């Protein structure tokens, strides 16, 4: 076994929340490392047995429980019940009794502890390969004590990345429309929560009906539409300051806004004299450019991560289908030709896939396809499902679902493989989710 030691590294977020310190990073070579990894294509068929012991010290049990919940919801791990653990006297600074963990068929083991000094919580943990009897990683995170949940999410991300080879997505947030009240007096507020449903907050008071909220890539701003007796307008809210600013565009209705990848512009749809087209507005110069111009409805634009293409919905072919065009509006081509009506297309974070909503066979469906329209796959279907949004690593899709007529919308997730369909931990009514990137 070869061991590499790294100096402590401090990373300051825009919220000045978290300091990340690399404590020890162990690089393993040979068969032991090859055995302790999760296949992201086969993981749902045989999830890895993973044990997470309650951390010692302040918030230790809560941190461990949050990490268990995160990794369990990924579907890639069989997170074991602490009641079956044989070893109880475990210390983060000592190697565990590997034989005790092999008896209960644990393959990977997480132990840790928290300490508070000068008002800050420091959490260190170690991930062990039980059968290889080797440490995989050892990391330390610190923050103010009230931010213990963010530390738990960062621990989850580190474990996920080491065992799957993919970037984690647990330290992220979701913006959505929180719905309440009856059908005739529905209140729709702009809301934000952690990806696991914790720490919800409301950014509007319900006097306007909120539509289409989405984060910018940095996760610091949210763009959304608000409907009132003055029409449908686009707003941007800054998460740090709470400041809200209206985006001035011509026409009585402007909706379905999305930030461009650089955050310097927004693409959106607007109704001008009954003609709905797609526009882009520079937030720096204020210049508005019309990208489509035809008598049909063009809506729900989303720019690819590289900024070169825009996917959108149009009925120019006689029914609602998905099209793509260059970032300047040129070279429009149709992507979907199959049965049904398609809408709400959105690029995956690395730009190789497009998620969409399809209405066919008497149901709504959530699906994905390659960026050229090939390889279409349906991941979920119900009486009503729509509005897909991607996790930061492109592994999971969140969407809204209604089980039947009159049922309130709820938020659900599904793995991009089509497995691990489950309701979000946010159990109250919610719709139109938008997933942030991983927080800094």
Mean pLDDT over 222-246 rounds to 92
Q: For 53, what's the count of Cα atoms within 13 Å in the CB-facing half-sphere?
A: 26
Q: What value does the mean pLDDT of the chain take?
A: 90
**Dihedral of the alpha carbons of 367, 371, 376, 378, in degrees to the nearest 10:** -10
pLDDT of residue 272: 85
* DSSP class of 56: B
Which distant-in-sequence residues (6+ apart) come within 8 Å of 21 by Cβ?
A: 8, 9, 10, 139, 140, 141, 142
Q: Which CATH architecture has domain 174-435?
A: 6 Propeller (2.120)
**Superfamily designation of domain 19-164:** TolB, N-terminal domain (3.40.50.10070)
Could you tell me which of 416, 367, 368, 423 has the C-alpha nearest to residue 391?
416
Cβ-based neighbour number of residue 254 at 10 Å: 24
Measure Cα distances from 271 to 249, 290, 310 in Å. Answer: 10, 12, 19
- Give pLDDT tens digits for 336-364: 998 899 999 999 999 999 999 999 989 99
CA distances from 80 to 52, 59, 106, 228 (A): 8, 20, 8, 50
Adjacency order of strands within the sheet including 410-415:
384-390, 396-402, 410-415, 422-423
pLDDT digits (tens, 9 = 90+) for 157-216: 999 999 999 999 999 999 999 999 887 788 999 999 999 999 999 999 999 999 999 999
Give SS3 for 171.
coil
CA nearest 396: which of 22, 73, 43? 73
- Interatomic CA distance for residues 91 and 75, integer angstroms: 28
Give the pLDDT band (50/70/90) at residue 7. very low
Q: Domain boundaries in the chain?
A: 19-164, 174-435
When comparing pLDDT for 228 and 194, which is higher? 194
CB 126 within 8 A of CB 141: no
| Residues 410-432: tens digit of each pLDDT | 999 999 999 999 999 999 999 99
Q: Determine what percent of the chain is predicted with pLDDT higher than 90.
A: 81
In 3-state terms, what secondary structure has residue 157? helix
Instruction: Give the residue, 17 or 44, on which the prediction is more confident.
Output: 44
Please check the confidence at residue 28 and state whether its pLDDT lies above 50: no
> What is the spatial order of strands in the sheet that 134-144 belongs to?
2-4, 18-27, 134-144, 120-129, 108-117, 48-52, 77-79
What DSSP string describes 242-281?
A: --EEEE--SSSEEEEEEE-TTSSEEEEEEEETTEEEEEEE
């Amino acid at each position: 076994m070869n061991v590499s030691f790294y100096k402590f590294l401090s990373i300051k977020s825009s919220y000045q929340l978290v300091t990340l310190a690399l404590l020890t990073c162990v690089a393993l070579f040979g068969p032991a490392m090859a055995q302790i990894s999760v296949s992201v294509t086969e993981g749902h068929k045989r999830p890895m047995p993973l044990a997470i012991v309650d951390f010692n010290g302040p918030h230790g049990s809560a941190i461990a429980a949050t990490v268990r919940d995160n990794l369990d919801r990924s579907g890639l791990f069989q997170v074991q019940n602490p009641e079956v653990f044989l070893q109880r006297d475990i210390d983060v600074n000592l190697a565990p009794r590997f034989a005790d963990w092999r008896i209960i068929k644990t393959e990977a083991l997480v132990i840790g502890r928290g300490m508070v000094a000068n008002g800050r919580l420091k959490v260190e943990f170690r991930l062990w390969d039980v059968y290889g009897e080797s440490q995989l990683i050892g990391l330390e995170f610190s923050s103010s004590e009230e931010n213990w949940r963010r530390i738990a999410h960062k621990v989850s991300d580190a474990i996920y990345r080491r065992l799957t080879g993919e970037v984690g997505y647990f330290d992220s947030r979701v913006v959505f429309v929180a719905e309440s009240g009856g059908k005739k007096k529905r209140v729709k507020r702009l809301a934000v929560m952690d990806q696991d449903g914790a720490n919800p907050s409301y950014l509007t008071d319900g006097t306007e009906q909120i539509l289409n909220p989405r984060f910018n890539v940095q996760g610091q701003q949210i763009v959304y539409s608000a409907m009132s007796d003055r029409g449908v307008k686009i707003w941007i809210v800054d998460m740090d300051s709470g400041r809200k600013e209206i985006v001035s565009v011509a026409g009585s209705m402007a909706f379905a806004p999305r930030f461009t990848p650089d955050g310097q512009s927004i693409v959106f749809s607007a109704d001008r004299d009954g003609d709905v087209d797609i526009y882009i507005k520079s937030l720096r110069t204020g210049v508005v450019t019309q990208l489509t111009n035809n008598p049909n409805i063009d809506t729900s634009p989303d720019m690819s991560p590289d900024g070169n293409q825009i996917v959108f919905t149009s009925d120019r072919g006689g029914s609602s289908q998905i099209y793509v065009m260059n970032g300047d509006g040129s070279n429009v081509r149709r992507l979907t030709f199959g049965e049904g009506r398609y809408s709400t297309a959105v690029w995956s974070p690395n730009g190789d896939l497009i998620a969409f909503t399809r209405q066919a066979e008497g149901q709504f469906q959530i699906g994905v396809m390659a960026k050229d329209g090939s390889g279409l796959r349906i991941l979920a279907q119900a009486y009503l499902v729509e509005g897909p949004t991607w996790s930061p690593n492109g592994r999971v899709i969140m969407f809204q679902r209604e089980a039947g007529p009159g049922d309130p919308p709820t938020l659900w997730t599904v793995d991009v493989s089509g497995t691990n369909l489950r309701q979000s931990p946010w159990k109250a009514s919610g719709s139109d989710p938008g997933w942030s990137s991983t927080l800094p």
